[in-house]
Structure 1
Amino acid sequence: MFTGVSDAPAAPQVAVVVDVMRAFTVAAGAFRRGAERIVFAATQEEALELKARNPGRLAVQDGPPVPGFDLADSPARLREPDVRGRTIVQRTTAGTTGALAVADAGLLLCASFPVARATAEVLRRSEARTAAFVITGDDGRAAADLACAEYSAALVRAPATDPGPCPARARRSGAAARLAEGVRRGWGGVHPEDVELCLAADVDPFAMAAVRLDGRLVLRPVS
């Protein structure tokens, strides 16, 4: 089942929330670099409040730079700060919003191309008969997110599936074009390498699962 955020079931047995460009590519990069966990926030104000209560946390926001936020929602810019052992508070228009919409799922995974194969492996082991793939971009029509979702779904059935055609579709997507335009215009929070990092399939050996903890939705890597 492939659905947009607004049409997603409130509490599916399994939900895979997909944001390729760029929230969950950033999340995967943060875990690759040693971040401990990511706490999702519904608003900018909530994100800054969560950071203020815990000064060691780093806050991530998409779009132009916002005062109080430490990191841009950019996988390339994430290479600059040391995130080892840190908790990151993440608020984005598409990805984290989509995850919060299905927070009551029995199993909630967040996906992008870097973790697509590991995500499929978790789905295979779960033996779930159905899963709701939540396409977070463009009101459920984002070509990059759909390509990643279809690739992960195909891997569940056939682990030898070649990723090639799906990242190629994402490269031609409107989201990739917008990022490229942002680079040309010099927009803050965008890096020339972002698109390529978002298209790098299966580079991480972990999936990313979100669970409720102390009233918050918290994302962690799972092997």
Structure 2
Amino acid sequence: MVVMIIVDVETTGLNPEKNSIVSIGAVDFNKPLDQFYQECHVWDGAEIDDYALKVNGFTREQVTDLSKKTLNEIITEFLAWTSNNSDMTLAGENPGFDRDFLENSAKRYGLKWPFGYRTVDLHALSYAHHLSNGTTLPLKKNRTDINLNTTLLYVGLPEEPNPHIAITGAKMEAEAFSRIIHGKNLLKEFKQYAIPEYLQGEIDYDE
């Protein structure tokens, strides 16, 4: 059985020491209807990058709105949500980014961080399947240029809509994991998108 927590965070920049989480989205891969989504205002003094806001669609007014929950509150709620999961492995697209922000946020408020360092990267899984399928790898400057949208299109899904919303990203990544690992649809909202033939008939690890 494959059990993971697919997580996606939206932030005010790339540095977990200087920037803040503004939303957390997550899906329990083994129980995909069990999902988590919360938004918060930034911690006091956090730097806010305008480009990051352009990506996630939040405004400065929204991320500094003190009527929203605090980061302390939503990271506490996220950790409580994950506490009943039998596998505390984080997964996603470039999940090290999400892990570092979540871990830094937990430690900022003196909360116990229950996850290990290792994560499951959708990019690596997609890269490996491109190779095994004999599909030409997209390259840029002699390096892999597979991004989330490349993978979503590869598994038969549309590109992630803009602006990026954490729960949408988490759900689309979970669906992509399921299609590559099992050759199966995971969430009903994506059932309308046909699974490519080269992904069908994969080993079903649940059997």
Q: TM-score, normalised by structure 1?
A: 0.27
Greater strand percent: which structure? 1
| Structure with more contact order per residue of length (Cα contacts < 8 Å, sep ≥ 6) | 1
Q: Which of 1 and 2 has greater Rg?
A: 2
